[in-house]
Structure 1
Amino acid sequence: MIWNVVMYSSSMVFLCLFSFSCLLSFLMMIFLDFSYYIEWEIVTLNSSSLEMTFILDWMSMLFLSFVSFISAMVLFYSGGYMAGDNNMDRFIYLVLGFVGSMVFLIVSPNLVSILLGWDGLGLVSYILVVYYQNEKSAGAGMLTALSNRVGDVAILISIALMFDMGGWGFIFYNDSEWMSEISGLVVLVILAGMTKSAQIPFSAWLPAAMAAPTPVSALVHSSTLVTAGVYLLIRFSPALIGWGQSILFILGGLTMFMAGLGANFETDLKKIIALSTLSQLGVMMYILSMGYHKLAFFHLLTHALFKALLFMCAGSLIHGVGGTQDIRAMGGLIHVMPLSVTSMNLANLALCGAPFLAGFYSKDLILEVAFSSLLNEVCFWLLVTATGLTVCYTFRLIYYTVSGDYNLASLSCTSDEDKIMTWPMISLGLGAVAGGAFLSWLVFPSPWMICLPWWLKLLALMVSLVGGLVGYILNMMVESYRLVSLSNYSVVVFAGSMWFMPFLSTYGVSNFVLKISQSYHQSGDSGWLEFYGAQGAYKSFEVSSGYIQLAQDNSVKFYMVMYVLWLILVSVVLF
């Protein structure tokens, strides 16, 4: 127990100090305009050298600072949330392994070294998803692992394709002229980023990964696993041109619309927040495919602050109401958990882009940049509708958890007394309030002046107001809302099940793969391959070894038969 406390406290202190040092390094690098590129050559093969490389620039230092700070807050929060767990030391080791893999991925400008952090994230995420060791967690972990393996294979093929370039340091070949010489490389990198960031059609694993403990969800959905794909594509952004960029643009827009629509029909608290993460990842991919990689990185950082806070508040609410995650079993929590509910509303408003909170500075800028670009009608209204749906499901969540009817049991011990869980929420709450302004001054030292017609300037605000009113008022009319839902049951099931993507990703793929594997097993492994392969060789060896054994027994009968056969053969040949 003493060892657990020492490791727990020393890990938090180290991560906080590391975050502060990375922040200081970022300030020096961005103001003095310099960066470090460290290279260690391991082996050279046919003019291709394998090096261990690290890049320390303003982008990697700022991201490292955020990852370390949020990880320290998550570890602090875990001391209260996981207090009754018997394997607390194992949990801390896994979280530190998760953070270490992400750090390795952030500072690697080399595809080979990126693969180490990439696979480390996939392995540790699987172990954390199956942490509670039940059937649901096992299925969610397998879906997470297999979905991410598609991206791992894409990275491996990209490494093989980059062999012709003489090295794997993509930062030196990261432009359209070099990348266009290798057909399919950019598409493979986009595929890897889409799997790790759960874009369509790989979106099913993200809500399923909610089987992990809530502190892990706060870390995964804010600054580590799901942001790895976006970060990789930000590094590859100069090469994102052509039809690969168009595919990313379309799928990013569909992902944010699909996730926003599905969250309005979901009742699991953690899955609603997971779908909001999926929606914001779609926003990042959307603006990244338009060529604004700094803006995508800016939204990634601001999103990390309020999303970690949102998951921590959700964990506090789940603890307070006795372990249930169904929002219909909550309600009226503002009277019994004021601090958690206030922090949750703050994070929700930042998610909606409320003025002067963290999400406002990045989300409003993304919308205005998109409105001033050459968008067609479909993409324009897809972005506007997704923005309204975000506010809609946010106010629906506020109604069910905060201001609705008190639906808990008559004897419920619900309070904010656990200081270990509330202190990290206060720290991240300050970041959700002031982080956006702080980052906007640093990342964009020269302010952007975007001139739009007045109706486009007010469109984001009007859509947010309409979405909030619909999300709140529609759920207040519970009976009529249920009747409408029942009368359009098939539409509700389609929209609420992420367009049947979890079904297609599990039963659809497994049935198709199992039928192919069964036919291969019957006709191949247990059929012709068995007849001409192992069993055939065994039979022929058995027969021939029997003849050899008979010859070695010095039997008179055997030699007489062989002598007669020899005479017959000679007579046939001669006559």
Structure 2
Amino acid sequence: MWKKSNFFMSYSICFISFFFLFFFMLMNFLFMIYFIMNNYVIFLEWEIISLNSMNIVMSILLNWMSLLFMMFVSLISSSVIYYSMSYMSSKINLNRFIILVLLFVFSMILLIISPNIISIFLGWDGLGLVSYCLVIYYQNIKSYNAGMLTALSNRIGDVMILMVISWMMNYGSWNYIFYLSFMNNDYSMNMVGIMIILAAMTKSAQIPFSSWLPAAMAAPTPVSALVHSSTLVTAGVYLLIRFNELLINIFFLKILLLLSGLTMFMAGISANYEFDLKKIVALSTLSQLGLMMSILSMGFSDLAFFHLLTHAMFKALLFMCSGMIIHMMNNNQDIRFMGGISVYIPLTSLCLNISNLALCGIPFLAGFYSKDLILEMVSMSNLNMFIFYLYYISTGLTMFYTIRLLMYLMINDYNLLSVYNLYDEDYVMLKSMLILLMMSLFSGSMLSWLIFSYPYMIYLPINMKMMVIYVSFLGMLMGLMMSSMNIYSVNKFILIYKLSCFLAVMWFMPNLSTYGMNYKFLSMGQKLVKNIDMGWSELYSGYGMYKIMKNYSSIYYILHMSNFKIYLFSFIIWMMIMFFMLMI
């Protein structure tokens, strides 16, 4: 009876959460249209407490950008919660899972609407804390290690935001939006910009903080769909979009451009060596985050925001399709065991193909409008050839690992079981996926009309215009060639085994971060606790005082007991002392 009532309570929480978020999405959409049409901005300030000259206020900034982003976050999170009703139905604590997801979404919404660095920190830290709880949701050693790596990597960004809060005590308020436009040449605000860039690099997993993002795949797949599309990893990009006026004159942006370009390239190469389905999709997220951060460092914040929104749609759909396939494969994530799914689960295969093609930037899907515009702006900009080639090679690598993935999943033979039952009749999952499928088809053109309402023409030579098509076709051919070879031919093709090992493990970054940074810091903390807190500090303070007082109390207790032997012994000693004194 208890299980039945618990089951109904979990499903009622799911339905209420889904309808609330869907209604919130519709309201955001209507307000966003009104704000864009009238060029309208609302700044709200609520005074919580006023004590002498100190005011504690809660500030909210509503403009077209925050409303549009909230609309996308609420749409994806409502689809994810509806999807979880089926995907997580066999789990005992479904209501705990839904409440954690809602906390995650509310932390992101607080981050989106905050023009105040303290309320941004509350949303930022809420994302980090709840993401740790969600990564360790499946309670095993792998999940605990991944959660600790995620939490410790993100703490660096939290410390940077805390330093920004303390640094901005030089000014009259923590509402940073009032200082961005007229203080962008000030030295102290440049320091704020550098710390904000470092915080964004940790949350958006740029080199050298990239290793936590594939490790966070230990979380359930609906969480991965939410985290990797519109919430946790995009928080850093959104923070830089908010601070973009401050970042114009900072030299550190050139370093960010180099690191984000290398992140894009490294993730594209590593995805071609990976056999874990969820990690391949996670590395594609890392590649697209590098694209967003690099175009941000060039000063095009609107383009980064445009790609952030279109990427959120097809990446959430891609994770949902991957989760459905993993669900049917008895929770097996190795793509070498999969194959031929287009025959057995055609609707899921359709969603997977469209989301993958949108990721590659195939005309005229959602990813094409943002990705092609970004690459054409790169071609127009005054960049060196190294960054230019990084962009286009990374675009080709996206097509490379996508075709490889589709070959393994769709065309190769099924390699897991001799008797299998793949079915495409889980209509709860399919409905949530079809909502995002429509958005993956139409959101690119819709957003390009909304965000860029003026004509935006880019004049380039025909070869430069066709460069994206060239590298995409080259990547597709390479993917087909590599997927059709067996493992011995691949090793002959790569030629250098050690180089392939280096490229496959993200340039040894997981080893460096796990064993180099986190393990060293944790072992140093263990030694400090052992030698100081539990060592001499304990000996000379708490435990030492306890031991001295215990010894004295035992002596006082013996004296307090009226024992004749003690009195007799003490009387003899006293008489002997008096005798010796008289003799002297």
TM-score (norm 2): 0.90
The residue number in structure 1 matching 2:335 is 327
The residue number in structure 1 matching 2:300 is 292
Query: 2:189·2:246 contact (CA, 8 Å) conserved in 1?
Result: no
Range 32-41 or range 169-178, more displaced = 169-178
Query: 1:200·1:255 contact (CA, 8 Å) conserved in 2?
Result: yes
Range 511-520 or range 234-243, more displaced = 511-520
Question: Per the alignment, do residues 352 and 515 of structure 1 end up closer, same or farther by CA in structure 2, a change over 3 Å counting?
Answer: same
1:43 CA drift (Å): 4.1
Distance 2:331 2:503 in 1: 27
Distance 1:287 1:45 in 2: 44
In the alignment, structure 1 residue 116 sits paired with structure 2 residue 122: yes
The residue number in structure 2 matching 1:272 is 280
Distance 2:531 2:127 in 1: 38
In the alignment, structure 1 residue 422 sits paired with structure 2 residue 440: no
Supply the AA of the counterpart residue of 1:291: G
Question: Per the alignment, do residues 538 and 366 of structure 1 end up closer, same or farther by CA in structure 2, a change over 3 Å counting?
Answer: same
Query: 2:152·2:518 contact (CA, 8 Å) conserved in 1?
Result: no
Q: Deviations over 1:366-413 (max 9, x none)?
A: 001011111112111111111111111111101100112232322110
Q: Deviations over 1:385-442 (max 9, x none)?
A: 1111111111110110011223232211002111111112222111111110000000
The residue number in structure 2 matching 1:398 is 406
Q: Deviations over 1:294-334 (max 9, x none)?
A: 11000000001100110111111112222211111011111
The residue number in structure 2 matching 1:259 is 267
The residue number in structure 2 matching 1:221 is 228
Distance 2:347 2:452 in 1: 33
The residue number in structure 1 matching 2:309 is 301
The residue number in structure 2 matching 1:15 is 21
The residue number in structure 2 matching 1:350 is 358
Q: Which of 143, 151, 154 is equivalent to 1:148?
A: 154
Distance 1:148 1:454 in 2: 44
Query: 2:142·2:218 contact (CA, 8 Å) conserved in 1?
Result: yes
Structure 1 unaligned residues grouped into runs of 5+ = 568-575
Question: Per the alignment, do residues 176 and 35 of structure 1 end up closer, same or farther by CA in structure 2, a change over 3 Å counting?
Answer: closer
Distance 1:88 1:532 in 2: 50
Q: Which of 66, 80, 85 is equivalent to 1:60?
A: 66
In the alignment, structure 1 residue 451 sits paired with structure 2 residue 459: yes
What's the secondary structure of 1:379's corresponding residue?
helix
Distance 1:557 1:387 in 2: 99
In the alignment, structure 1 residue 373 sits paired with structure 2 residue 391: no
What's the secondary structure of 1:181's corresponding residue?
helix
What's the secondary structure of 2:245's corresponding residue?
helix
How do residues 503-522 of structure 1 correspond to structure 2 at under 5 angstroms?
Answer: 503-514=511-522, 516-517=524-525, 520=528
What's the secondary structure of 1:237's corresponding residue?
coil
Query: 1:176·1:238 contact (CA, 8 Å) conserved in 2?
Result: no
Query: 1:50·1:167 contact (CA, 8 Å) conserved in 2?
Result: no
1:268 CA drift (Å): 0.4
Distance 2:172 2:52 in 1: 9
1:535 CA drift (Å): 5.8
What's the secondary structure of 1:242's corresponding residue?
coil
Supply the AA of the counterpart residue of 1:58: W
Distance 1:20 1:173 in 2: 33
1:515 CA drift (Å): 5.2
Q: Which of 206, 213, 220 is equivalent to 2:213?
A: 206
Distance 1:46 1:468 in 2: 67
Supply the AA of the counterpart residue of 1:37: F
1:249 CA drift (Å): 1.3
The residue number in structure 2 matching 1:99 is 105
Supply the AA of the counterpart residue of 1:115: F
1:5 CA drift (Å): 2.6
The residue number in structure 2 matching 1:472 is 480
Q: Deviations over 1:17-74 (max 9, x none)?
A: 1111101100000011111111012345786643101111100110111111111111
Distance 1:536 1:9 in 2: 59
What's the secondary structure of 2:160's corresponding residue?
helix
In the alignment, structure 1 residue 131 sits paired with structure 2 residue 140: no
Question: Per the alignment, do residues 247 and 537 of structure 1 end up closer, same or farther by CA in structure 2, a change over 3 Å counting?
Answer: farther
Q: Deviations over 1:168-214 (max 9, x none)?
A: 11111123625633452111111111111111111111111111111
Identity percentage of aligned residues: 51
Question: Per the alignment, do residues 539 and 2 of structure 1 end up closer, same or farther by CA in structure 2, a change over 3 Å counting?
Answer: closer
In the alignment, structure 1 residue 433 sits paired with structure 2 residue 461: no
The residue number in structure 1 matching 2:31 is 25
Range 83-92 or range 298-307, more displaced = 83-92
- Pairwise CA RMSD of aligned residues? 2.7
Range 40-49 or range 24-33, more displaced = 40-49
Structure 2 unaligned residues grouped into runs of 5+ = 1-6, 562-566
Question: Per the alignment, do residues 516 and 133 of structure 1 end up closer, same or farther by CA in structure 2, a change over 3 Å counting?
Answer: closer
What's the secondary structure of 2:45's corresponding residue?
strand
Supply the AA of the counterpart residue of 1:185: V
The residue number in structure 2 matching 1:409 is 417
In the alignment, structure 1 residue 83 sits paired with structure 2 residue 94: no
Question: Per the alignment, do residues 319 and 551 of structure 1 end up closer, same or farther by CA in structure 2, a change over 3 Å counting?
Answer: closer
Query: 1:475·1:481 contact (CA, 8 Å) conserved in 2?
Result: no
Q: Which of 189, 200, 212 is equivalent to 1:193?
A: 200
1:529 CA drift (Å): 4.2
Question: Per the alignment, do residues 546 and 356 of structure 1 end up closer, same or farther by CA in structure 2, a change over 3 Å counting?
Answer: same
Q: Deviations over 1:262-287 (max 9, x none)?
A: 10100000000000001101100000
Distance 2:413 2:560 in 1: 93
What's the secondary structure of 1:409's corresponding residue?
coil
Supply the AA of the counterpart residue of 1:389: L
Range 347-356 or range 134-143, more displaced = 134-143
